[in-house]
Amino acid sequence: MNKRIRIALIVFIPIILIGSCCAFFFRPVNLSFAEKITLIHHDKNIHLEIKNGADFVELISLCKGIAHPEGYACAFGVVELIFEGNGKKLHIYPAGDSCNTMRLGDGDIYYNIKNREKLEIIFAKYDITVPWV
């Protein structure tokens, strides 16, 4: 019986440790709570709300992903998306240069833009063009 317990521990402890590390370092970005999106361009004084329609749905789809704590030397901070609803608020900063990356909040959590071209098309409708650095 002791041999079975040892084998089970040898097998399951690494699985649990790996799963815990992945859950800590790789976080899904869930935007299903969003009822409105505020799009801000800090240099051009653009500040508008998107509450419904195709752009709203597309921005939520484009900004979902798996965030990870990996640093990037991209230009963040000029354009900001704020997703709000159900008492939650999440700030996302798409890179303003050619990087295919977004920064989650003010920390060092990043993830890839699912389709940079679609994001740029939506932003262009609101007079935000690349590069916005």
If the chain, 133 residues long, is cut into consecutive pieces of 10 residues, what is the mean pLDDT of each piece? Answer: 66 54 60 94 92 91 82 82 94 87 84 88 89 65
pLDDT for the residue numbered 19: 47
pLDDT for the residue numbered 14: 54
Top CATH class of 29-125 equals alpha beta
Q: Which stretches within the chain are classed as H helix?
A: 2-25, 53-62, 116-125
Q: Which residues pair with 91 in a beta bridge?
A: 82
pLDDT for the residue numbered 41: 93
pLDDT for the residue numbered 10: 66
pLDDT for the residue numbered 8: 59
Phi, psi of 44 (to 5 degrees): -100, 0
